[in-house]
Structure 1
Amino acid sequence: MHSSTSGRLRRMPAIGAVVALAAGMLVTLAPAAHAAAGATLPFTSVEAESASGNGTRIGPDHTQGTLASEASGRQAVRLAPGQRVEFTAPRTADALNLAYSVPDGQSGALAVYVNGTRLAKSLPVTAKYSYVDTGWITGSRTHHFFDNTRMLLGRTVQAGDKVAVEATGVQVTVDVADFELAAPAATQPAGSVSVVAKGADPSGNGDSTQAFRDAIAAAQGGTVWIPPGDYRITSSLNGVQNVTLQGAGHWYSVVHASRFIDQPSSAGNVRIKDFAVIGEVTERVDSSPDNFVNGSLGPGSSVSGMWLQHLKVGLWLTGNNDNLVVENNRILDTTADGLNLNGNARGVRVRHNFLRNQGDDALAMWSLYAPDTDSSFEHNTISQPNLANGIAVYGGTDIAVRDNLISDTNALGSGIAISNQKFLDPFHPLAGTITVDGNTLVRAGAMNPNWNHPMGALRVDSYDSAVNATVNITNTTITDSPYSAFELVSGGGQGYPVRNVNVTGATVRNTGTVVVQAEAQGAAVFRNVTATQVGAAGVYNCPFPASSGSFTLTDGGGNSGWSSTWSDCSTWPRPGQGNPEPDPNRNLAGGRPATATGSQDVYTPGKAVDGDANSYWESANNAFPQSWTVDLGASYGVRRVVLKLPPSAAWGARTQTVAVLGSTDGTHYTTVAGAQGYRFDPATGNTATVSLPGGTSLRHLRLTVSANTGWPAGQFSEVEVYSS
């Protein structure tokens, strides 16, 4: 097991966290920008923030370690007990999967309503599989906040019907709902060996391990049938070869096992399809094979139609897996990788899979011991890897990454990484031609806390050795990257060159800092790359270390919208610096660093920018005046400040006397709006708005509270700052 964070650390100038722009509400699984990108999926996803209800929206936010930063679209809806989110069904459906989070250590349920009628069944929710700590990975923090819970509705809803979920007994943050029309349960194939006939218990009470082993032994050359039911396996299967394991569909045939197949080799011809394997992995232990498949299925094998959840890794593949096909699967909530081709992969095709909430790279090829060769990741949809990359290729020969849709990478990764980071020896660096074609990256790229420095949406990295392979990056769409679009870097800090990179045909929209982030010696050619809404400049070209040599960017023609170069290599451009002006509907203060002259107990300054209307900052008591300050990360023209107190009626009406001050350097402040009394009344939402004259330019906003008729302290549950 590995993470993309190990190895030597680069030390670069710090850059503040960035607030993401609001995402589209209905998840389009194949954006119009590149219609072929992503998997063909049997469900349609709807974001909770686009639904109706009485919960509290959190986000958007890209700050590592925050709940909103790990959500789809960087936004979600928090429900207190009794609150609900009501979705409009986007299609005919009879099955629902919901991504959610509950506070650490808690469990409960969501009541489900269809067109106002509560169903007898509810959706269980728990923090059991969340809040993962990986302290041995430098730069990691507690992460993996979300989980997935699913149910068959027991009825069919039509497009336009209302499906609501309501928190009962526990706070639940709802992220996204997947609506699906489940296929009917399949029937037993003729001549197959049923695990139930060999003694398996479909109630889930008995141990079915030996029954599965006996059925596999009896069905050599044929099919093992897993009827509808729940089956418990307590130890891994091995010796699996020349056999098909088939279920009635993953909604019906469910195996509960944290280790399903564990074998170092196989003669191959294994077919695994159409059932679910749901584990009980609650933490990441890299020495334990807590995987659906650990090792080898052998040549000519396939895995399809599977639902894999609550495992460490979906498939950790070593040994001979030549010509393996992995397609049409769902891999959810793994504490590490979704799939890793760990050397010796030849002719492997991984395609049309959906992966959500991985605790490391969602899909990876790692050429340890032998090179992965002529293998590909194609037409996969990847959402919310929360500790590393969407897709990572670590070494290998003649590898292809085509037509994938990757969104919302977090913390330590890019959307796609093409890298010579070796982790261990013997490692086989990139060789031949690496093809990266037709991929769409949305809100991809992240701050790397080890580098104090951002990672681009698409990264080519000479981490441990020079990149000498030909890397062809074509037909790429990059949207809403919080930092850069393309990064060319020697991430180990040794200055190895990045050569032979060709970027042809790319559309870049709304990138936070620059289009090209060049930080290594070497060369690349860019052709027909168009950019709009570039945050700071077209190019940052500052090799690290500074003495390692220059990077040559060749304009191959057809480029537009990114001709400028960042001039100061001693500092990083901040997201949104320069043009364009920020979205007037974006809260510039959300998730930003906040300080205060004093705080009372747990009511710290950050509570006023955390997106939770029920948490709040409270200053030291009986010590007016008190000040609260937020760093917006860059200078903006600010026109409006919204001050809030918790909406609960328990907060009686009060008037706070507040002055607004501003600064561009964090040292010298001027008064923007003089001290004035602002009324907070729960009957009108406990909200007050301060209008500032003429779009006042400031980076640091300070609120000085000199009086409060309701409590002897300054108090804010949220401070929102807008350019409109």
Structure 2
Amino acid sequence: MTTPRTTARRAQAAATAVALAAGLLVAVAPAPAHAAAGATLPFTSVEAESAAHTGSRIGPDHTQGTLASEASGRQAVRLNAGERVEFTVPRAANAVTVAYSVPDGRSGSLDVYVNGQRLDRTLPVTSRYSYVDTPWIPGARTHHFYANARMLLGRDVQAGDTVAFQAANVQVTVDVADFEQAPGAAARPAGSVSVTDKGADPTGQGDSTQAFREAVAAAQGGTVWIPPGEYRLTSSLSGVQNVTLQGSGHWHSVVRTSRFIDQTASSGAVHIKDFAVIGDVTERVDSNPDNFVNGSLGPDSTVSGMWLQHLKVGLWLTGNNDNLVVENSRFLDMTADGLNLNGNARGVKVRNNFLRNQGDDALAMWSLNAPDVNSVFENNTITQPNLANGIAIYGGTDITVRNNLIADTNALGSGIAISNQKFLDPFHPLSGTITVDGNTLVRTGAMNPNWNHPMGALRVDSYDSAIDAQVRITNTTITDSPYSAFEFVSGSGRGFAARNITVDGATVNRTGTVVVQAETQGAATFRDVTATGVGSAGIYNCPYPAGSGAFTVTDGGGNSGWDSTWSDCSTWPEPGQGEPQPGPDRNLALNRPATATGSQDVYTPGKAVDGDPNTYWESANHAFPQTLTIDLGAARSVRRVVLKLPPQAAWQARTQTLSVQGSTDGSAYTTLAAAREYRFDPATGNTVTVPVDGGPRHLRLHVTGNTGWPAAQFSEVEVYGS
């Protein structure tokens, strides 16, 4: 369903974006009849770089694999021993959570001061859960530099008080602090079965696995009570169904295990709430079920009020999870996804959760084996997924992504990805209506190291098949995207169409490059999309591979601030670069798509436009005539073509007979330079220049002879406008 565009709604989204950009994750009161983007959170976050400190500020930075690029706001404060950061408390609080990083292999502590008085407790910090490597993921580097540590202060502080953290015995980079009023421990529900009655050890010393299993078995149709304390489980629970597992609050009831529930099926009605599950996952091993929930909770189940940390995945859900609700929970420091609906999810709602520092997609729906249907991610706050996307929808039917606040994606991800990337079969592509409504994206998008070009804040990706679903993107706010705002791409490079897309009501505030990055065939209609602070141009429209089909951008009215088009498909816009000016030294053929009638062994057409004079294209031997064709990306005014052979003396002088032809459509060619002999001589650099006069998009060299070898040969073909 499309939410009406209103001034109040836009003001609401803008206020949320400003709050996050300023370093305060605060709940913004909803405008009438509309929900604010992001979760309503019980804490307020303050960025370290906005606090008083004696350390060194790092960032901002968007470079993959740096501490600053993974930080909230792309900035943090580095403390050497004896240095401190002092926060002014924004609200009444008795508890704090600090996101930090320490050098690899190190551990230590932060001394804590309240209003200048040192507490008798310290905040432990460690690199144990950081510096994760995933070499099987193309383009991944060491990542996951930060972790979160929490503590009860043991006293109440008020707005305006100060809480300081001082590095005691190790260098600590402090990113952000969350201040909150932690409630007292809840009382035991009447009629519940306590795990301590079954022998669980609340000190965390003994193994409480069997006690938990016996309590679950005894409480069928009722409640398992987890009293205040810390409980150690050494293996997972299974056969969990028709039962409530309830703690006294996640600050008080803590379960230490990396595998809480692992089961392939359940009759459902499982309700899990109000305790913490903290694991000990230090590396990502995809074959291990190191998850809070692995498999199925069954239909009509709920997860609420949970603190989930140091696991591989929070919830990896397969099987029947119809009508599951996951809400009001925190997902911190996973080495992979926060939550993944891994096919066959019907009517699932994931709402009002906070996710920080996930090692893959924070929230994902992946329609493997069966489609995810009529499921919703709404009103979640997501920050710092450090390998992939904030929210990713891989296939599925009638999916909704609504009112989420997403910030600071890194390396391989966008804020939101709507994709037909299948990973495995049987996969169920996008179908029905995909609703992406009311989302706010702050500093999202990244430079993809595999593609060597950027990913937009919001990406629609026909990776493995054309997108035939109706994709409705409405009421979007995009702020400070390092690259583009909206990207339409076929990430496999096979040019599948991305179509049936509408973008209605978007506010784009500052993009590093462009508003629309179109890289595959297809079509989208834009209405009421306003942009300010555009770095390079309004539209980059260069479908890949060249000749695969056009992407049509339709102006539906009400658009402003992005009517220019990037004119040079041979180059990617760089942040803040502006439109490049044509000049005599700009090689229009560099790294452009090149094709030929034939090639010999490894001497492929692309070697003639790669900028390296030592590599070369060689046509099929003994098969004249031969042609080499270069797609310049757009019609260009061409005045000279420079042809080169490798400069080494081993390349003896030779003469090639050739003509230069041009075409605007890749079909009908005209002669730009008539056929003649050109001598290549290592004594003069093995270079010749051919004057031409035309405006082609496709430039073709037609070669009929070579006195030095029975094939056409060029190490570089350079094309210039003057």
TM-score (norm 1): 0.76
TM superposition shift of 1:578: 2.4
Distance 2:173 2:29 in 1: 26
Give the alignment's Cα RMSD to 1 decimal: 1.4
TM superposition shift of 1:23: 4.6
Matched with 2:704 is none
Matched with 1:657 is none
Which one scores higher on RCO, CA 8 angstroms, separation ≥ 6? 1
Distance 1:384 1:197 in 2: 41
Does 2:24 correspond to 1:26? yes
Q: What aligned pairs does 1:645-684 form with structure 2 within 5 A after superposition?
A: none
Matched with 1:63 is 63
Contact kept? 1:29, 1:381, Cα under 8 Å: no
Q: What aligned pairs does 1:370-519 form with structure 2 within 5 A after superposition?
A: 370-519=370-519
Matched with 2:549 is 549
Contact kept? 1:533, 1:579, Cα under 8 Å: no
Describe the superposition over 1:546-593 as per-residue Cα deviations: whole angstroms up to 9, x where unpaired. 11100000000000000000000010111011299xxxxxxxxxxxxx
Distance 1:336 1:329 in 2: 17
Does 2:310 correspond to 1:310? yes
Please tell me the residue identity of whatever aligns with 1:169: N
Describe the superposition over 1:409-462 as per-residue Cα deviations: whole angstroms up to 9, x where unpaired. 000000000000000000000000000000000000000000001000000000
Distance 1:461 1:370 in 2: 20
Q: What aligned pairs does 1:114-513 form with structure 2 within 5 A after superposition?
A: 114-513=114-513
Distance 1:128 1:460 in 2: 36
Matched with 1:717 is none
Please tell me the residue identity of whatever aligns with 1:253: S
Please tell me the residue identity of whatever aligns with 1:215: A
1:517–1:263 Cα change, 3 Å? same
TM superposition shift of 1:184: 1.4
TM superposition shift of 1:43: 0.2
Distance 2:23 2:339 in 1: 29
Matched with 1:525 is 525
Contact kept? 1:461, 1:498, Cα under 8 Å: yes
Please tell me the residue identity of whatever aligns with 1:388: A
Matched with 2:101 is 101
Distance 1:84 1:144 in 2: 23
Please tell me the residue identity of whatever aligns with 1:569: C
TM superposition shift of 1:226: 0.1
TM superposition shift of 1:68: 0.3
TM superposition shift of 1:25: 3.5
Matched with 1:19 is none
Describe the superposition over 1:114-142 as per-residue Cα deviations: whole angstroms up to 9, x where unpaired. 00111111111000000000001000000
Matched with 2:686 is none
1:365–1:30 Cα change, 3 Å? farther
TM superposition shift of 1:71: 0.1
Does 2:522 correspond to 1:539? no
Contact kept? 1:439, 1:476, Cα under 8 Å: yes
Q: Secondary structure at the match of 1:239?
A: coil
Distance 1:253 1:355 in 2: 20
Describe the superposition over 1:163-208 as per-residue Cα deviations: whole angstroms up to 9, x where unpaired. 0000000000000000000111101000000000100000000000
Matched with 2:609 is none
Contact kept? 2:38, 2:403, Cα under 8 Å: yes
Distance 1:527 1:492 in 2: 29
Matched with 1:85 is 85
Distance 1:214 1:28 in 2: 42
Please tell me the residue identity of whatever aligns with 2:220: Q
Distance 1:277 1:26 in 2: 27
Matched with 1:594 is none
Please tell me the residue identity of whatever aligns with 1:414: S
Q: Secondary structure at the match of 2:111?
A: strand
Matched with 1:691 is none
Describe the superposition over 1:359-378 as per-residue Cα deviations: whole angstroms up to 9, x where unpaired. 00000000000000000000
Q: Secondary structure at the match of 1:491?
A: coil
Unpaired runs of 5+ residues, structure 2, are: 1-19, 581-722
Contact kept? 1:256, 1:279, Cα under 8 Å: yes
Contact kept? 1:291, 1:315, Cα under 8 Å: yes
Q: Looking at CA atoms only, which structure, 1 or 2, has the larger radius of gyration?
A: 2
Contact kept? 1:445, 1:458, Cα under 8 Å: yes
Contact kept? 2:26, 2:43, Cα under 8 Å: no
TM-score (norm 2): 0.77
Please tell me the residue identity of whatever aligns with 1:65: G
Please tell me the residue identity of whatever aligns with 1:448: N
Q: Percent identity?
A: 79
Larger CA deviation: 31-40 vs 419-428:
31-40
Contact kept? 2:35, 2:403, Cα under 8 Å: no
Contact kept? 2:480, 2:509, Cα under 8 Å: yes
Contact kept? 2:223, 2:245, Cα under 8 Å: yes
Contact kept? 1:537, 1:566, Cα under 8 Å: yes
Distance 1:86 1:68 in 2: 20
TM superposition shift of 1:301: 0.1
Distance 2:339 2:576 in 1: 35
Q: Secondary structure at the match of 1:196?
A: helix
Matched with 1:597 is none
TM superposition shift of 1:29: 5.2
Matched with 1:37 is 37
TM superposition shift of 1:32: 9.5
Q: Secondary structure at the match of 2:78?
A: strand
Distance 1:516 1:474 in 2: 15
Moved over 4 A (4+): 28-35
TM superposition shift of 1:271: 0.2
Distance 2:24 2:542 in 1: 39
Distance 2:35 2:177 in 1: 22
Matched with 2:559 is 559
Describe the superposition over 1:203-237 as per-residue Cα deviations: whole angstroms up to 9, x where unpaired. 00000000000000000000000000000000000
Distance 1:547 1:318 in 2: 41
Distance 1:24 1:41 in 2: 17
Q: Secondary structure at the match of 2:214?
A: helix
Distance 1:26 1:220 in 2: 43
Distance 1:468 1:546 in 2: 22
Contact kept? 2:357, 2:384, Cα under 8 Å: yes
Larger CA deviation: 31-40 vs 256-265:
31-40
Please tell me the residue identity of whatever aligns with 2:443: R
Matched with 2:637 is none
Contact kept? 2:23, 2:45, Cα under 8 Å: no
Contact kept? 1:26, 1:50, Cα under 8 Å: no
Contact kept? 2:277, 2:292, Cα under 8 Å: yes
Please tell me the residue identity of whatever aligns with 1:552: T
Describe the superposition over 1:602-647 as per-residue Cα deviations: whole angstroms up to 9, x where unpaired. xxxxxxxxxxxxxxxxxxxxxxxxxxxxxxxxxxxxxxxxxxxxxx
Distance 2:45 2:29 in 1: 13
Contact kept? 2:384, 2:410, Cα under 8 Å: yes
TM superposition shift of 1:24: 2.2
Please tell me the residue identity of whatever aligns with 2:187: T
Give the count of matched residue pairs.
559
Distance 1:121 1:218 in 2: 39
Contact kept? 1:30, 1:405, Cα under 8 Å: no
Contact kept? 2:60, 2:75, Cα under 8 Å: yes
Unpaired runs of 5+ residues, structure 1, are: 1-21, 581-724
Distance 1:32 1:99 in 2: 28
Distance 1:67 1:205 in 2: 36
Please tell me the residue identity of whatever aligns with 2:24: L
Matched with 2:638 is none
